[in-house]
Amino acid sequence: MSHAERAVTRAHREEWARVVAAVTRRFGDLDLAEESAAEAFAVAVERWPADGVPPNPGAWLTTTANHKAIDRIRRESKRDEKQKEARVVHDDSPPEPLGVIDDDRLRLIFTCCHPALAVQARLALTLRMVGGLTVPEIARAFLVSENTVGQRITRAKAKVKAARIPYRVPSADDLPARVSGVLTVLFLVFNEGYLATGPDTDPVRQDLTAEAIRLTRLIRSLLPDDGEVAGLLALMLLIEARRPARVSAGGELVPLAEQDRGAWDAELIGEGHRLVRSRLAAAAAGVAPGRYQILAAINAVHTSARDIRDTDWSQVLALYDQLVRVDPSPMVALNRAIAVAELDGPEVALAAVDRLEPVLSGYHAYHVTRADLLRRLGRSRESRVAYDRAIELAGNTAETAYLTRRRDQLG
């Protein structure tokens, strides 16, 4: 890959959301913004190898996207109306109130997460418009077909336009009721960055994890007393702290039990632990913790152990029991079974995992968990079959490499 090609790839990861948000703010049209941004990147692919990479790729892409948007408006014979909406011609009218904080990407997130949209549509639209994820990547995150994701995004953009959903951060009074959906989306964006999907994708996309953390910090600055905002930030920090040990030098996924804990980011762990402790104090005062706070507490237990053998599995299981009451999903049950294996043995855990087969048979983590439990029980042939299925469903080359090695070690 040439220098220019690498620059375009990097710019897409780092600047996509900025370009889409800037064009949306100017023209108020998500379809136009997405199409114009895509055209701008296509122009970069053509011109940067010959002309050189511009000193400020983001500004170049935004300017190009704006020009593409104006060209499209002219082609559609809507120049006067659209230019007036976009203030292409200077006017002295006061700007629309921006809400309690001024950030283009945060405005874009709240627009995409508006309660007028169906929940699944909010998630898909935000991952596409803000995260810059492709439809196949979003489909993998949702465990649904690509066609379903495409339809959700199309319907969501049409709804935003038809309902005239405002492009702004909500007011201080409206913000608490709107934040829950945003947190869900940010966590999905973070997860996609922490272990990205796609065979040709870097296993870790720090741009996405950093963006999710940055936007979560912004939301926490707005709602400093919201426990779930603090919980999500703590969860992200404690997971991000382990990123340097997540993938080996050879490009293979390194599971928690095998990671070099000395490579973890102590500063991020310290900040995450402080946030967890602050929420524990609130829980002691009678404020029930939510899903993100409990997940953060589980990760705090893991990051408190200097060695995997020092992990307080009884505390982990107790936290999962608490989480099941808040979020009785099959994925929570699957993760709980891993803790059960450490306390009650792999046979008890396998029985719990097998009960999840009807709903998780198409999810790779289900087969990874079964393969490991079967290996520990000495049932090598069945373990190999489970590893084969996990490899087939694996999201990227780092995970495939790890699972292949584990399978081949069975003999």
| Residue range 73-128, pLDDT digits in tens | 988 865 556 555 655 544 343 444 445 455 788 888 889 989 889 888 988 898 88
Residue 101 in tokens? 């904080």
> How far is the C-alpha of 400 from the C-alpha of 245, rounded, in Å?
17
* 277 pLDDT higher than 70: yes
pLDDT at 82: 59
Residue 68 in tokens? 């593409």
* 261 pLDDT higher than 70: yes
> How far is the C-alpha of 85 from the C-alpha of 135, rounded, in Å?
30
pLDDT at 127: 82
Q: Determine the CATH number of domain 334-411.
A: 1.25.40.10
pLDDT at 98: 45
Q: What are the tens digits of pLDDT across the range 211-252?
A: 889 889 988 887 888 899 999 999 999 999 999 999 998 889
> How far is the C-alpha of 139 from the C-alpha of 188, rounded, in Å?
12
As a whole-number percent, the residues of the chain with pLDDT over 70 amount to: 91
Q: Which of 135-139, 259-263, 367-371 has the lowest mean pLDDT?
A: 135-139
Q: Which of 41-55, 66-80, 185-199, 296-310 has the lowest mean pLDDT?
A: 185-199
Q: Which residues contact 59 (CB under 8 A, 6 or more apart)?
A: none
Q: What are the tens digits of pLDDT across the range 2-36?
A: 889 999 999 988 899 889 999 998 988 898 999 99
**Per-domain boundaries in the chain:** 3-86, 224-246+260-328, 334-411
Residue (of 271, 267, 291, 289) closest to 279 by Cα position: 289
Quick one: DSSP state of residue 174?
T
Fold match flag (3-86 vs 334-411): no
Topology, domain 3-86: Rna Polymerase Sigma Factor; Chain: A (1.10.1740)
* 409 pLDDT higher than 80: yes
> How far is the C-alpha of 241 from the C-alpha of 272, rounded, in Å?
9
Q: Which of 1-5, 58-62, 193-197, 365-369 has the lowest mean pLDDT?
A: 193-197
> How far is the C-alpha of 268 from the C-alpha of 234, rounded, in Å?
9
pLDDT at 81: 62
> How far is the C-alpha of 283 from the C-alpha of 297, rounded, in Å?
12
Q: What residue spans of 305-345 are helical by DSSP H?
A: 313-326, 330-344
pTM of the model: 0.76
Quick one: DSSP state of residue 93?
P
**To the nearest whole number, what is the mean pLDDT of the chain?**
88
> How far is the C-alpha of 356 from the C-alpha of 109, rounded, in Å?
34
Residue 153 in tokens? 């995004």
Query: Mean pLDDT over residues 288-311, rounded?
Result: 95
CB burial class (10 A; 0-12, 13-18, 19+) of residue 46?
exposed
| Residue 89 one-letter amino acid | V
Helix axes 397-408, 364-376, angle to 10 degrees: 20
Residue (of 129, 39, 46) closest to 75 by Cα position: 39
pLDDT at 40: 96
